[in-house]
A and B are shown apart, each in its own frame.
Chain A
Amino acid sequence: MPVTQTVPAAARMFLSGNDAVARAVWEAGTRVAAAYPGTPSTEILEILSRYSGLHTEWSINEKVSMEVALGASMVGARAFCAMKHVGLNVASDALMTMTVTGTEGGLVIAVADDVGMSSSQNEQDSRYWGRFAHVPVLEPSDSQEAYAMTLAAFDLSERLKSPVILRLTTRICHVKGVVHTGERIEVEPKGFVKDPRHWVMVPGNAKPRLPTMFEREAAARAQAEVTPLNFQVDGSDRRIGFVTSGPTFMHVREAFPDAPVFKLGLSCPPPLESLRRFAATVDTVLVVEETEPLLETEMKAAGIACHGKDVLPRIGELAPDVLEPAVRRLRGEVVPEPEHVPAQQVFPRPPTMCVACPHLGVYYTLSQMRNVIISGDIGCYTLGAGHPWNALDTCISMGASMGTALGMDKGRGKADENKKIVAVIGDSTFMHMGMQGLLDITWNRGNVTVLLLDNRAVGMTGGQDNPGTGRDIHGEETTRVDFAKLCEALGVKKERIHVLDPYELPVLFKALREETKIEEPSVIITNRPCVLIDHYQPAKSYTVEEDRCTGCGNCVEVGCPAIHVTRRDKVVKASGKEVDLSFVRIETSACTGCGLCVQPCAPEAIVHADPVQSVQSVQFVRK
């Protein structure tokens, strides 16, 4: 069902940075917006999809989303794409040529850096891409600025005919603040102007464009010196003057309300002359930037003496409680112990998979296999690396499970001769970057068994649609990929492709055992939907018959959060071996009756809550 929401007119709204960016993209008269979901940037496109008057889409990866935006810009429309930091690595190929062609309709790229790494595989500073691509970078420091700078970014893009990067961080994307908003303007696309020298980037056309790119950069630098996006806040305590970019401005103002601050909004290229003048008015300059010493290096190269990462941490956020002790030390003060209770040691509480998640069965089965190396990927199923399964050996980047598995297969020596190599990937990740890797496996005759976990959603980011779900960003029906046929087209033999129910553990186990024995590429596709999407149909819940439970703990190994251990015990077997027992209870209100935990329970102690019904049990044999 298309979700078209009436959006309130000019108002004072309580918006997250993502909300604010979306609002401004819409107000700017943008006609095309594309993204691949990725925390912390996901909500921007979700919100935009509820506005009318523009095309919004989930693209299969960030590079495609950037290409879609560029196409729209070429016909003179305002265009937007959004991604998380690692997504810009994927899109960088398009970016590095887009900077040579330049743009027509305003084109803004929102990139959300996961400073502090709340949900990503690395912490990287996307501002470098601005330098690398000679593209201006804007850095808002709260929701109001995210809104205002998005609008400014479109203007700047059209003035310079350059894409503009809006660098966000988790602390912008997911912080809510009060924002004053406006109304949408309509911008009519100017129309495509055929000009191969501009748009066809063969060497003969690209070379003459390079000077244009550098002229544009010089214009941006001149802009940076005069734009109101870069400004100074005066302060009476001139011992330290701060140079800030992004959310660190707020942190600095909070921790040092009396200090002079130079606030960079348009931070690439940096306004070095203004910064030099600022430096002359204070005793010491401290550059506060997350995460790399980028401005610091640029300022030092320009001969402006400053401190930065010599006193501040290079990793994570620079919140007031991090800044304050560092600055005191820089001033030569003795930093007193904090006056609050110390942090208490409490057990870790990592995220878990959902109750009845179809991945539970997959990881339970994998955890029962011996002599396997399991190459993992990015998504909910990365949680399979945790307890109780411990069933992932690697995880690098979107789609990397395929190539990594092939590399392990080809590179292995005697020590790993008898190991089976399994690669695990989700449906969306497979389409994002995995297909190419699978093609490489088949083409190069890799001995890899691929588990393609099709749960019909981009699960990790909240269940967004993809070409495997057969629905678009508005929930409307569209083409649906047939994964079995796709894998066949990529070179996997038809008889080596199995579509299985991940709730049928014995079937899954048998298929995995057989396919890992066969020395050629095979794909096992699991076909149950994510429990958080609306296709999921819960069934009758289960309960544990206490007097039948032997405390073997097999069901706990499945990892369903609805199963709780009520009592532990130890018994000595006839063989003299001591065995740990765990007696369990099922949270009936949470159990959706998937039947996974029923299968490894030998004494058939897990029964339907009501009416009582016996269920066939299956014994698992450790290989």
Chain B
Amino acid sequence: MSKITNILVCGVGGQGVMTATEILAEAAISLGFDVKKTEVAGMSQRGGVVTSHLRFGDVVLSPQIAPGEADLLIGFESAEALRWSHMLRPDGVALVNSGRIVPPVVNLGLFDYPEDPVAQMRALGLTVHAFDASSLAIQLGNIRLGNTVMLGACADRLPFPAEVLRDAVLARFGTRKPQLVEANRGAFEAGRRAVGGEALAA
């Protein structure tokens, strides 16, 4: 059996974790891979923890990624990235939005938000690329562009060309909201640049 690529996307309900994983899946499908995708989400839409597992390769059996098996961890929120860091392979890569979403239990003073989640992940010996994708999305005009920014950030770390992912992102908006295509193209490139990727030709 050939190598399977495992991608774990995590974040908070409402951030677009599932949509982002869906787009990654569409990119993989367009290349003819066998693909499985599953969410581990309780009553997640309402601000709870969301993780989405994506696996692709020649043949994919179990839909779940085992701890220590993710090649890529895409963290849409920094404390969530820390929560799921045990899923990453020791030689895997984490792409983390350093933006924070503070839950009510922290607001109420019942729990503390971790001091510096990214630093903690690095202290565990993990390779982490972190940047404030939320602020970047707001600068680009809409917090909702955050998931495209994150997809841009992972585009150069996939076993297929970045263009395939970009086209999957644009295809999704192209059919539903054509006016958002340019904004998403910009967000995708901004995400790539944020982690040191090269710009793609339009």
- For residue A563, CB closer than 8 A to chain B, the reply is yes
The stretch from B83-91, B146-154, B155-163 touching chain A is: B83-91
Let me know if B114 and A346 touch, CB within 8 A: yes
**Option from B39, B47, B85 in Cβ contact (under 8 Å) with A174:** B39
The stretch from B64-72, B183-191, B194-202 touching chain A is: B64-72
List residues of chain A with CB within 8 A of the CB of B66. Answer: 319-321
- For residue A204, CB closer than 8 A to chain B, the reply is no
List residues of chain B with CB within 8 A of the CB of A145. Answer: none
Across the two chains, which residue of chain A brings its CB closest to B107? A565
**Option from A341, A348, A564, A565 in Cβ contact (under 8 Å) with B109:** A565
The stretch from A235-243, A287-295, A350-358, A427-435 touching chain B is: A350-358
- Extra contacts besides A344-B85, A559-B104 (9): CB < 8 Å: A14-B29, A39-B43, A171-B64, A247-B62, A317-B64, A341-B85, A347-B106, A350-B103, A351-B46
**Option from A39, A171, A344, A460 in Cβ contact (under 8 Å) with B82:** A344
We find that the number of chain A residues with CB closer than 8 angstroms to chain B is 54
Question: CB within 8 Å of B: which of A368-395?
Answer: 380, 383, 387-388
The stretch from A89-97, A211-219, A250-258, A464-472 touching chain B is: A250-258
Q: A343-B86, A347-B113 are in contact. Are A14 and B35 (CB under 8 A)?
A: yes
- For residue A201, CB closer than 8 A to chain B, the reply is no
- For residue B102, CB closer than 8 A to chain A, the reply is yes
We find that the number of chain B residues with CB closer than 8 angstroms to chain A is 60
- For residue A339, CB closer than 8 A to chain B, the reply is yes
- Complex: A462 Cα to B61 Cα, angstroms: 30
List residues of chain A with CB within 8 A of the CB of B36. Answer: 142, 175-177
**Option from B90, B108, B111 in Cβ contact (under 8 Å) with A348:** B111
B 34-56 binary contact with A (CB < 8 Å = 1; else 0): 11111111111111110000000
**Option from B25, B61, B112 in Cβ contact (under 8 Å) with A176:** B25
Question: CB within 8 Å of B: which of A193-208?
Answer: none
Across the two chains, which residue of chain A brings its CB closest to B35? A178
Let me know if A561 and B104 touch, CB within 8 A: yes
Let me know if A341 and B124 touch, CB within 8 A: yes
Interface of A is mostly: loop
Across the two chains, which residue of chain A brings its CB closest to B42? A118
- Complex: A380 Cα to B130 Cα, angstroms: 35
List residues of chain A with CB within 8 A of the CB of B104. Answer: 352, 387-388, 559, 561
- For residue B132, CB closer than 8 A to chain A, the reply is no
A 48-92 binary contact with B (CB < 8 Å = 1; else 0): 000000000000000000000000000000000000000000000
Let me know if B46 and A354 touch, CB within 8 A: yes
Let me know if A351 and B42 touch, CB within 8 A: yes
**Option from B38, B40, B47 in Cβ contact (under 8 Å) with A352:** B47
Let me know if B107 and A352 touch, CB within 8 A: no
**Option from B42, B63, B90 in Cβ contact (under 8 Å) with A171:** B63
Let me know if B82 and A118 touch, CB within 8 A: no
- Complex: A177 Cα to B60 Cα, angstroms: 9
- For residue B126, CB closer than 8 A to chain A, the reply is yes
Let me know if A339 and B38 touch, CB within 8 A: no
Let me know if A352 and B61 touch, CB within 8 A: no
- Complex: A580 Cα to B108 Cα, angstroms: 11
- Complex: A351 Cα to B120 Cα, angstroms: 25
- For residue A2, CB closer than 8 A to chain B, the reply is no
- The 6 A-B residue pairs whose C-beta atoms are closest, nearest first, are A340-B68, A347-B111, A351-B48, A321-B66, A254-B62, A351-B46
Let me know if B48 and A338 touch, CB within 8 A: no
Question: CB within 8 Å of B: which of A129-176?
Answer: 142, 171, 174-176
List residues of chain A with CB within 8 A of the CB of B44. Answer: 351
Nearest-Cβ distance from residue A575 to partner chain B, whole angstroms: 22
- For residue A119, CB closer than 8 A to chain B, the reply is yes
Question: CB within 8 Å of A: which of B91-135?
Answer: 102-114, 117, 120, 124-126
List residues of chain B with CB within 8 A of the CB of A14. Answer: 25-26, 29, 35
Nearest-Cβ distance from residue B48 to partner chain A, whole angstroms: 4
A 317-349 binary contact with B (CB < 8 Å = 1; else 0): 101110000000000000000111111101111
**Option from B61, B90, B114 in Cβ contact (under 8 Å) with A341:** B90
Q: A177-B35, A340-B90, A565-B109 are in contact. Are A347 and B103 (CB under 8 A)?
A: yes
List residues of chain B with CB within 8 A of the CB of A178. Answer: 29, 34-35
Question: CB within 8 Å of B: which of A2-23?
Answer: 14
A 603-618 binary contact with B (CB < 8 Å = 1; else 0): 0000000000000000
- Complex: A253 Cα to B48 Cα, angstroms: 32
List residues of chain A with CB within 8 A of the CB of B47. Answer: 349, 351-352, 561
Nearest-Cβ distance from residue B105 to partner chain A, whole angstroms: 6
List residues of chain B with CB within 8 A of the CB of A387. Answer: 104-105, 108, 110
- For residue A582, CB closer than 8 A to chain B, the reply is yes
Let me know if B62 and A174 touch, CB within 8 A: no
- Complex: A341 Cα to B47 Cα, angstroms: 26
- For residue A556, CB closer than 8 A to chain B, the reply is yes
**Option from A247, A349, A383, A568 in Cβ contact (under 8 Å) with B12:** A349
Q: A340-B86, A344-B83, A351-B46 are in contact. Are A320 and B111 (CB under 8 A)?
A: no
List residues of chain B with CB within 8 A of the CB of A177. Answer: 34-37, 60, 63
- Complex: A339 Cα to B49 Cα, angstroms: 25
- Complex: A478 Cα to B11 Cα, angstroms: 40
